[in-house]
Chains A and B, each alone.
Chain A
């Protein structure tokens, strides 16, 4: 049920995405991510419009990682940072990371193709119901997304909310 994507411009990397609802152990997962037991980004799905948004953040994280230009300490924190429209790191974690009381989680794993990835191991750590990543749209809080990314109704005349979000993520270094 998880989804795996290749990054065309970094063919040695793969991105795996998993989505869970009815989550019971957010606090525990957060601890595991902090102590390295889970090597992945734990993201608040209410801020995610589409799986493509995750891929854009992951691709940029790999790019900055390879060039030694990350703003945070790991590839996974960098994914969370890249989702944010601002350059404030703690704000990014507050909005896009998960909190102990959350009842859903979007997990993103990035791995080199030579490494083996044990998805089942990660799934076994989550006390929640796994759903298809496309179902993230049922969890999106569009009103908060629009507010945070400052998307005015006018902008939706020339594209979707996803377009607006991705365009800000890609240009935030110079905007």
Chain B
């Protein structure tokens, strides 16, 4: 009873009005209203297995990193949701709701099955490669690149693909080629396991990445090294 009371105090009252859309391991994501607009509220809840002061510090840092990287991307013209408000008491971020969007993951699956699918997906892969190269040029390491963490606004067959990057909770700033290579490796793993038989498509993404930045070839070289390490590790394990 007592513990339940403590827990209840740790939940802000405004979340009672919001609708939960995802319960993750680190955060709960809600849709709600804020100053007359539809918003996404991302709440990092306390992890009871961590020491409270350690937990507070870590959670605060992730929240700060998430909003910092979003701002850094937007400054460079890379689309990410606008931050409206941050509540550091409850570690809640209020974000622009990217309406009429679909995640790249949900987009790829049905399109892959169609006849013209390959062509549409190639344009999309080009765009993803280009944007990730831009992001890395800003020294933003996303930390959790997956096709679920990219939202698609317009129809991908149009030249004007509007891609929005989300979920910067594990992001950080680094100029190291190694960190950028690992970022791409994480995406490669996620991409190929979520979308079987997309090796060619992913190669196309990497080609576009390479063509989009002077620094990209060195990152791809690192990616090769990281792959090799990954393979060795899996042979041992």
Q: Who on chain A is nearest to B94 by CB?
A: A170
Q: How far is the CB of A104 from chain B (nearest CB, A)?
A: 23
**B45 within 8 A of partner (CB):** no
Cβ of A167 within 8 Å of any chain B Cβ, yes or no, is yes
Knowing that A158-B74, A170-B83 are A-B contacts, what are 20 other residue pairs whose CB atoms are under 8 Å apart, sorted by A's residue number?
A5-B36, A8-B17, A9-B14, A56-B85, A59-B35, A60-B85, A67-B89, A152-B75, A155-B75, A155-B76, A156-B77, A158-B79, A159-B74, A163-B74, A164-B74, A167-B82, A173-B88, A174-B64, A174-B68, A174-B86
Assembled-state Cα–Cα distance A155/B86 (Å): 21
Q: Which residues of B contact A158 (CB under 8 A)?
A: 74, 77-80
* Contact code string A49-80 (vs B, CB < 8 Å = 1, else 0): 00010011001100100010000000000000
Bound: A167/B84 CA distance, A: 6
A7 at the B interface (CB under 8 A) = yes
Classify the interface of chain A: helix, strand, loop or mixed. helix
Chain B contact residues: over half helix, strand or loop, or mixed? mixed
Range class of the B interface residue count: 20 to 34
Candidates A60, A166, A173; contact of B82 at CB < 8 Å: A166
Contacts of B67 in A (CB 8 A): 170-171, 174-175
- State the interface size on chain A (CB cutoff 8 A): 28
State A34–B75 Cα separation when bound (angstroms): 37
Q: Does B181 contact A (CB under 8 A)?
A: no
Q: Is the CB of A157 within 8 A of B77?
A: yes
Q: List chain B residues, Cβ under 8 A from A166.
A: 82-84
Q: Would you give the 0/1 interface string for A131-165, flagging 1 where the beta carbon is closer than 8 Å to chain B?
A: 00000000000000000000010111111000110
A-B contact pairs, 18 of them (CB 8 A): A5-B36, A7-B35, A8-B34, A9-B14, A52-B36, A59-B34, A63-B87, A67-B89, A154-B75, A154-B77, A155-B77, A156-B77, A163-B96, A167-B70, A167-B71, A170-B83, A171-B67, A171-B83
**In the bound complex, CA of A141 to CA of B217 (Å):** 43
* Contact among A63, A157, A167 with B83 in the assembled complex (CB-CB below 8 Å): A167
Chain A neighbourhood of B87, CB < 8 A: 63
B33 lies within 8 A of A168 (CB): no
Give B37's nearest chain A residue, CB to CB: A52
Residue of A9, A157, A164 touching B34 (CB-CB under 8 A): A9
Flag whether B46 is at the interface (Cβ < 8 A).
no
In the assembled complex, how far is the CB of residue B69 from the closest CB belonging to chain A, in whole angstroms?
Answer: 10
Tell me the bound Cα distance from A168 to B74 in angstroms: 10
B193 to chain A, nearest CB (A): 30
Q: How many whole Å from B41's CB to the nearest CB in chain A?
A: 9
Q: Among A5, A52, A60, A155, point to the contact of B74 (Cβ < 8 A).
A: A155
A118→B87 CA distance, assembly (Å): 31
Instruction: List, in ascending order, chain B residues with CB within 8 A of A59's CB.
Output: 34-35, 85
B32 at the interface (CB under 8 A from A): yes
- Across chains A and B, which 4 residue pairs bring their CB atoms closest together, nearest first? A9-B14, A154-B77, A157-B77, A158-B79
Contact with A along B36-71 (1 / 0, CB 8 A): 110000000000000000000000000010011011
| Min CB gap B35→A, angstroms | 4
Which residues from B are CB-within-8-Å of A173?
86, 88
- CB A141 to nearest CB in B, in angstroms, measures 21
B77–A52 touching, CB < 8 Å: no
A153's nearest neighbour on chain B, judged by CB, is: B77
Chain B residues, CB < 8 A from A159:
74, 79, 82
Contacts of A152 in B (CB 8 A): 75
B128 to chain A, nearest CB (A): 16
Give the chain A neighbours of B71 by CB distance below 8 A: 167-168, 171, 175
Q: Is the CB of B32 within 8 A of A170?
A: no
Give every chain B residue within 8 A of A175 (Cβ-Cβ): 67-68, 71
